[in-house]
Amino acid sequence: MPEKVLVTREIPDAGLRLLEGFDVTVLSEAPPERDVLLEAVRGAAGILPTVTERIDAEVMDAAGEGLKVVTNMAVGYDNIDVEAATERGVVVTNTPEVLNETTADTAFMLLLAAARRLGEAERLLRSGGWDAWGPKQLIGPDVWGKRLGIIGFGRIGQALARRATGFSMEPVYHDQYRNEDAERELGAQYLELDELLEGCDFVSIHTPLTPETTHLIGTEELRKMKQEAVLVNTSRGPVVDEAALADALAERRIFAAGLDVYEEEPKVHPKLLELENVVLAPHIGSASIETRDKMAALAAENLAAVLRGEQPKTPING
Ligand code: GLV
């Protein structure tokens, strides 16, 4: 009997193809309701979830003792209770590396769009409110020549630093760990968080979501930023206190923000939706055709490897 595999969402074929030979259920196009997930997971040896599913002890226990592997189709894995998995002998994997460049592109896209007011500009044009070129119309700060502070200097943060250099920006970073090789290679100076917030024109967040990074950026941190600064977040919503950010933007304590992630997705703080000086994207950081294929393939490859008794490529535990 082929082993049962639950794929929680419709993923690219590049991934599904690699699961041939297993008894695969693809649950739904939209995020499944919790009770649907709990029912569908029964008897699964492998689960391939996305960021929209919380895979905790309850889900693992609903799967039962035959569960061997959970392969998240994402680099971030705050939606998975890794400790509960480890206790149950369940391997957890994620999809690092394959989305670095695409996610760094998204961060830079939001940085440019927020600085140069692209969302606001497009809304003006589409609403029929654009009547002429204006010498002071829709002006925002230059990006080139400015200092970019990168919070979280992992693979995506470093990919962003390379983009910054190409745009004649000066990259600096803060991270829990110093990485002197990367500092040398990318010419990015290490700064304490306060120094970074006080001294940068642009700040982009690339940390994983952990208890330590939850609300890493709140009212106090936003007060430290320059009034003309732009904040970008493509990591996880709860790293930024969304209400505090909405206040800072409304009071023009910072110039603008570009967000791809939110505290309670798919909800967005209602105040942010009212503001012109924030560009809002619906969690599309890794959403290129090529990268989504690679993420699906890597998650599926990891799943198949574990069920065949082999080492997965990118394990988080074990
Ligand atoms: C997406 O958010 C990811 O973590 O890959």
Peptide bond into 282 cis (omega under 30): no
Separation between Cα atoms, residue 204 and residue 169, nearest integer Å:
13
- Separation of 75 CA from ligand 1 center, angstroms? 5
The percent of residues above 90 in pLDDT, for the chain, comes to: 99
Write down the CATH number for the domain with range 4-96+289-307: 3.40.50.720
Atom from ligand 1 closest to the CA of residue 295: 5
- Tokens representing 66? 């035959």
How many A from CA of 18 to the centre of ligand 1?
Answer: 21
Mean pLDDT value of segment 6-34: 98
Tracing tokens 């967005």 back to the chain, one arrives at 268
Task: For residue 91, name the pLDDT band (cuts at 50, 70, 90).
Answer: very high
**CA count, 13 A, side-chain hemisphere, 36:** 13
Cα 259 to middle of ligand 1, angstroms: 14
Question: In the chain, which residues fall in CATH 3.40.50.720?
Answer: 4-96+289-307, 100-280
158 lines ligand 1 (CB under 6 A): no
Ligand 1 near 75 CB (within 6 A): yes
pLDDT at residue 148 in the model: 99
Rounded to 10 degrees, the C-alpha dihedral 89/94/96/102 comes to: 180
283 annotated active-site: yes
**Size (the chain), residues:** 318
Distance 72 CA to ligand 1 centre (A): 9
CA dihedral sign of residues 30, 45, 62, 87: negative
| Cα-based distances in Å from 162 to 108, 143, 185, 189, 316 | 11, 14, 10, 13, 27
Q: 235 vs 10, 36, 76, 152, CA distance in Å?
A: 23, 28, 8, 9
Are the beta carbons of 232 and 110 closer than 8 angstroms? yes
pLDDT tens track for 98-119: 999 999 999 999 999 999 999 9
Rounded Cα distance between 302 and 184, Å, is: 34
- Banded pLDDT at 52 (limits 50, 70, 90): very high
pLDDT: which is higher, 197 or 318: 197
Compute the distance between CA of residue 6 and CA of residue 23 in angstroms, rounded to an integer: 8
Is the CA virtual torsion 134, 135, 141, 146 positive or negative? positive
Per-residue pLDDT at 178 exceeds 80: yes
pLDDT, residue 20, reads: 97
- pLDDT, position 206: 98
| pLDDT given for residue 68 in this prediction | 98
Reading the block at residue 290, the tokens are 């090529």
pTM: 0.97
The pLDDT confidence band at residue 90, using thresholds 50, 70 and 90, is very high
Atom of ligand 1 nearest to the CA of 283: 2
**Predicted pLDDT at 184:** 96
Residue 163: pLDDT band (50, 70, 90) is very high
* Mutation probe of ligand 1 site: the residue of 9, 48, 50, 51 with most atoms within 8 A of C-beta: 51
What pLDDT is stored for residue 214 in this prediction? 98
* Res 318 pLDDT > 90: no
Alpha carbons within 13 A on the beta-carbon side of 75: 24
Residue nearest to atom 5 of ligand 1 (CA): 74
Predicted confidence at residue 29, as pLDDT, reads 97
User: Rounded mean pLDDT of the chain?
Assistant: 98
For residue 37, report the phi and psi dihedrals to the nearest 5 degrees.
-60, -45
Instruction: Look up the CATH architecture of domain 100-280.
Output: 3-Layer(aba) Sandwich (3.40)
The pLDDT of residue 159 is above 80: yes
Among residues 236, 263, 269, 301, the one annotated as catalytic is 236
What pLDDT score was predicted for residue 231? 99
pLDDT at 25 over 90: yes
236 in active site: yes
Burial of 5 (0-12, 13-18, 19+ CB in 10 A): buried
**What's the rounded Cα separation, in Å, for the pair 291 and 294?**
5
186-222 pLDDT, tens per residue? Answer: 999 999 999 999 999 999 999 999 999 999 999 999 9
Instruction: Give the contacts of 295 (CB within 8 A, at least 6 positions apart).
Output: 15, 73, 74, 95, 98, 99, 286
**Mean of the pLDDT values across residues 304-314?**
98
